[in-house]
Amino acid sequence: MIPEIGHYALILSFCFSVALGVLPMYGVYRNNGLLIWLAKPLVAAQFLFIAISFGFLTWCFAVDDFSVSYVASNSNRALPMIYKVTAVWGAHEGSLLLWALILAGWAFAVSCFSRNLPDDIRAMVLSIMGLISVGFTLFLLHSSNPFLRLLPNFPADGNDLNPLLQDFGLIVHPPMLYAGYVGFSVAFSFAIAALLSGRLDASWARWSRPWTNIAWVFLTLGITLGSWWAYYELGWGGWWFWDPVENASFLPWLVGTALLHSLAVTEKRGAFKSWTVLLAISAFSLSLLGTFLVRSGILTSVHAFAVDPERGLYILVFLGVVIGSSLTIYAVRAPTVKSHAVFEFFSRETVLLFNNIILMVATATVLLGTFYPLIYEATTGGKISVGPPYFNLIFAPLILLIMPVMAIVPQILWKRSPTKDLIKKNIIPLVCGAAIAVAFWYSGDQEVAGGFDLRIGLAIVFAAWLFVSIVKDLADKIGLFSDLSAVPQKIRLLTPGYYGMILAHAGIAVCVIGVAMVSTYSVDKDLRMAPGDQVQLGDYQFEFKGLKKTPGPNYTALTAVILVTDESGKQWLMNPEKRQYPVRRNQMTEADIDPGFFRDLYLALGEPLTNGAWSVRIQVKPFVRWLWLGGLLMAFGGFVATLDRRYRMKGRGV
Amino acid sequence: MNAIHKKRLIIVCVGVVAFAAAAGLVLFALNENINLFYSPTQVAEGEAPVNKRIRVGGMVATGSVQREPDSLKVLFVVTDYENNLTIHYDRVLPDLFREGQGIVATGKLDQNGQFRASEVLAKHDENYMPPEVSDMLEKRGVDATGTTAKP
């Protein structure tokens, strides 16, 4: 009965989505107050029933109902309860249900926190989100139903969850990422509603900004968590592979970042209006494209689920409908939008325009690199892959171009900015930056560095410059060097928007230092080690003591005991594991990581060799934590910026 | 042509030149960094370039994995059930590497027609076949075990 109730709730939710997609929109068109009013209850009903559906699927997992095909293929009696619950989104059907749930959740959030929106705009936004919901719930019901039964002969035990996914990272990574992907549907719906109503003004930008910010925060967290998960779980110590599916999450992030900045110009200065709308459409379209990439399996990737051409085709058609119809609306309505703002070359507008150009170039190159294998195969029939060097080659100069801009942006004013102060104000930060970079250079282990790399050197100089200039700007603004008694008051006067900006930009600096250090100074060695063998790597000595058997809940593990000695003679043990999961006959490398603020030690067991020896991979990775720390800072900055009080005030067009 | 038109023309020209330069650089970077995929038969027929970074793949032949006793060096044979290719590797093999499994390797072909891999990929899913390998086998009309598929 339980799965059938879940299925039934899903169908009901679908019906409410259809009603939501049609009725309020028609109400706005006919100016019918009742139909416009209906938007809110319909959103609530849609959300309620999809939540019930999701709850019942979770229940099926919790009670081991293996008569449900999806549960049977992705769970097992021996699986710990926490993983039974998270296994709900461990494969295609469930993760799609999570997508639809989060989409309905965002719509519900918009309906709750939109008291400052005019009723008709709110109805249109919710209606558009309802239409997107229709697409996804129909997809679930049509070709990805998670409630299908295996009757009458169902298995006594399930096929277990993919061991890679039995991990804390998977509990949080997909929901965060999806919240980000789906969150851009709000910005998208606002943009389409603004185009349809013709009210594309500063208040529209002010309504969109907090929602775009929050979606961006989730996406940033999702990507950061994904990178962290890949680092410790895949057993190779890599943190970014330029894998098609990673790129698929990075593309909406790049466009979303451009959107955040472009929205700022539209709100404050009324410029870039139609460009902002186009970005909002692109950000959501790229999120859909990402979903399509993961689901269809057309690109080789570590993330690919089982390939099903029918599903791929459905998403492709859906993508075509969404992009096609939104671009048509854009083409018809955008020419009526005029931006009247004027600004001079040295102004904040120009700087943000530059930011947008760089981010668009980055988006275009990642998009090209990701889809080039498909284009190549279609035109020549040959199979290729695009290697990470391509992406690195393009990204290094782009980062180097954008960092100085971030360093000077707090000192540049809207509309017109005097140039003579700019150089004077930046001499100190730039000199400090160079000094810090030299210090970094000497702190690194030069034997393993493999020579000086100009790009890496510049990256560290610029990151340090950015950081110092942020700190200096903050100190200037709160008057730390002039009137100390006024400091507390000045701290309060600065807006959350400003604090958010400097936090997020500092996050970029931290992240860039992490990338530069870990890709220059990492030491990485694959070795054959028998019990008693010792090896020196960087400042550390590793001794292979032996192996022991460790039982787990649904696996058995061989645990290596490795004694690590550092320069000062401090000793500790590390225990990388090799796990055997009997149900799927899978083998998993469970790396042991000794984390640190300035370096990680990363040990992974390879395979058994002759005479009790094992292949072992040992890595010393300096500053690798800074990557994710930077990501967290960016996300926190985005969150702080959302707290700005003006987003909560009643909007009246400017 | 008045001053405004002239200014616009200059802006457009600069834009076009900048765009062309950027696109040229990107395409150059792309062409330098694509890795073409070759099947063992294509390698045997001499289609694959020597000493250039390429990708090869196939099923790991049963009984072909040989290890050197004192190092990590390993050699194994991948097959498309028509031709074989010997692959040398000296790093840790992935978890799912085993005989009878489809793999893809990135590396260079040496003068003796043997492959020096810098990376070996086997996916973390029992049912998963690298798409390159399954396409290749499909073209040969065999399934993953080398049995000729029924028409």
The predicted structure's pLDDT at residue A169: 81
Dist. CA B118–CA B35, nearest whole Å: 13
CA A387 to chain centroid: 22
Domain count along chain B: 2
Q: Is the per-residue pLDDT at A654 higher than 60?
A: no
Cross-chain Cβ contact A528/B124 below 8 Å: no
Six-digit token pair at A245?
């599916």
Domain identity same for B11 and B56: no
- Asked if residue B50 belongs to a domain, the reply is yes
Q: Does A393 reach chain B within 8 Å, measured CB to CB?
A: yes
Domain identity same for B109 and B136: yes
CA A152 to each of CA A67, A77, A149, A403: distance values in angstroms, whole numbers, following the listed order:
8, 20, 9, 63
Q: Which of A607, A611, A614, A616 should one mutate to test binding to chain B, selecting the residue with the greatest count of B CBs within 10 A?
A: A607
Which residues on chain B are in Cβ contact (under 8 Å) with A609? 67, 69, 72
- Asked if residue B147 belongs to a domain, the reply is no
Q: For residue range A498-545, what is the model confidence (pLDDT) as tens digits?
A: 999 999 999 999 999 999 888 888 888 888 898 989 999 888 999 999
Which residues on chain B are in Cβ contact (under 8 Å) with A607? 92-93
Cis peptide before A152 (omega within 30 of 0): yes
Mean pLDDT of chain A: 87
- Asked if residue B64 belongs to a domain, the reply is yes
Domain identity same for B20 and B61: no
CA A349 to each of CA A15, A310, A344, A442: distance values in angstroms, whole numbers, following the listed order:
45, 46, 8, 39
Six-digit token pair at A146?
């998670």
Dist. CA A184–CA A221, nearest whole Å: 15
| Percent of chain B surpassing pLDDT 70 | 91
* Range with the largest mean pLDDT of A108-112, A391-395, A406-410: A108-112
Domain identity same for B129 and B113: yes
Name the residue facing A384 among B37, B123, B128 (closest C-beta). Answer: B37
User: Which chain B residue lies closest to A372 (C-alpha atoms)?
Assistant: B30
Name the residue facing B126 among A526, A585, A617 (closest C-beta). Answer: A585
Domain identity same for B56 and B93: yes
Q: For residue B10, give its domain range.
A: 1-34
Q: Does B129 reach chain A within 8 Å, measured CB to CB?
A: no
Work out the angle at residue A147's Cα, subtended by the Cα atoms of residues A145 and A148, and round it to the nearest 5 degrees.
80
- Asked if residue B10 belongs to a domain, the reply is yes
Which residues on chain B are in Cβ contact (under 8 Å) with A91? none
The angle that helices A273-296 and A348-380 make with each other, rounded to 10 degrees, is 30
The predicted structure's pLDDT at residue A184: 96
Domain identity same for B22 and B57: no
Six-digit token pair at A474?
């903050």
- Asked if residue B146 belongs to a domain, the reply is no
Six-digit token pair at A544?
């292979």
The predicted structure's pLDDT at residue A152: 78
pLDDT band at A115 (very low <50, low <70, confident <90, very high): confident
Q: Does B125 reach chain A within 8 Å, measured CB to CB?
A: yes
Dist. CA B150–CA B101, nearest whole Å: 22
Domain identity same for B66 and B27: no
- Give this prediction's pTM: 0.91
Cβ atoms A507, A626 nearer than 8 A: no
Q: For residue range A460-487, what is the model confidence (pLDDT) as tens digits?
A: 889 999 999 999 889 888 888 777 788 8
Q: Which of A296, A385, A398, A602 should one mutate to test binding to chain B, selecting the residue with the greatest count of B CBs within 10 A?
A: A385
User: Which chain B residue lies closest to A580 (C-alpha atoms)?
Assistant: B95
Burial class (CB in 10 A: 0-12, 13-18, 19+), A112: exposed
Q: Which of B92, B106, B119, B138 should one mutate to test binding to chain A, selecting the residue with the greatest count of A CBs within 10 A?
A: B92
Domain identity same for B41 and B55: yes
- Asked if residue B43 belongs to a domain, the reply is yes
Domain identity same for B14 and B72: no
Q: Does A537 reach chain B within 8 Å, measured CB to CB?
A: no
Which residues on chain B are in Cβ contact (under 8 Å) with A606? 72, 92-93
Q: For residue range A625-643, what is the model confidence (pLDDT) as tens digits?
A: 999 999 999 999 999 999 9
The CA distance from B57 to the nearest CA of chain A, in Å, is 11
Nearest to A604 by CA among A644, A559, A563: A559
Cross-chain Cβ contact A586/B124 below 8 Å: yes
CA A343 to each of CA A181, A263, A353, A421, A431: distance values in angstroms, whole numbers, following the listed order:
33, 16, 11, 19, 31
Domain identity same for B30 and B51: no
Cβ atoms A591, A167 nearer than 8 A: no
Domain identity same for B45 and B102: yes
Which residues on chain A are in Cβ contact (under 8 Å) with B52? none
* Range with the largest mean pLDDT of A188-197, A349-358, A412-421, A582-591: A188-197
Q: Which of B14, B27, B30 should one mutate to test binding to chain A, selecting the residue with the greatest count of A CBs within 10 A?
A: B30
Cβ atoms A503, A633 nearer than 8 A: yes
Q: Does A392 reach chain B within 8 Å, measured CB to CB?
A: no
Cβ atoms A97, A53 nearer than 8 A: yes
The CA distance from A558 to the nearest CA of chain B, in Å, is 14
- Asked if residue B125 belongs to a domain, the reply is yes
pLDDT band at B92 (very low <50, low <70, confident <90, very high): confident
User: Which chain A residue lies closest to B104 (C-alpha atoms)?
Assistant: A300
The residue among A1 and A29 whose pLDDT is bigger is: A29
Q: Is the per-residue pLDDT at A448 higher than 50?
A: no
Six-digit token pair at A580?
């055997």
Cross-chain Cβ contact B33/A365 below 8 Å: no
Q: Is the per-residue pLDDT at B129 higher than 80?
A: no
- Asked if residue B98 belongs to a domain, the reply is yes
Q: Which of A611, A615, A617 should one mutate to test binding to chain B, selecting the residue with the greatest count of B CBs within 10 A?
A: A615
The predicted structure's pLDDT at residue A652: 41
User: Which chain B residue lies closest to A398 (C-alpha atoms)?
Assistant: B22
The predicted structure's pLDDT at residue A297: 61
Q: CB within 8 A of A444, min separation 6: which ones?
A: A517, A520, A521, A622
Domain identity same for B101 and B64: yes
The CA distance from A588 to the nearest CA of chain B, in Å, is 6
Cross-chain Cβ contact B29/A394 below 8 Å: yes
Q: Does A336 reach chain B within 8 Å, measured CB to CB?
A: no
Domain with residue B122: its CATH number is: 2.40.50.140
Name the residue facing A390 among B29, B72, B126 (closest C-beta). Answer: B29
Which residues on chain B are in Cβ contact (under 8 Å) with A162? 124-125
Lowest mean pLDDT among A88-92, A520-524, A584-588, B13-17: A584-588
Q: For residue range A238-281, what is the model confidence (pLDDT) as tens digits?
A: 888 888 888 889 999 999 999 999 999 888 888 888 899 999 99
Six-digit token pair at A460?
């560290």
Q: For residue range A282-322, what is the model confidence (pLDDT) as tens digits?
A: 999 999 888 777 766 666 554 544 456 677 778 788 889 99
Which residues on chain B are in Cβ contact (under 8 Å) with A615? 72, 92-93
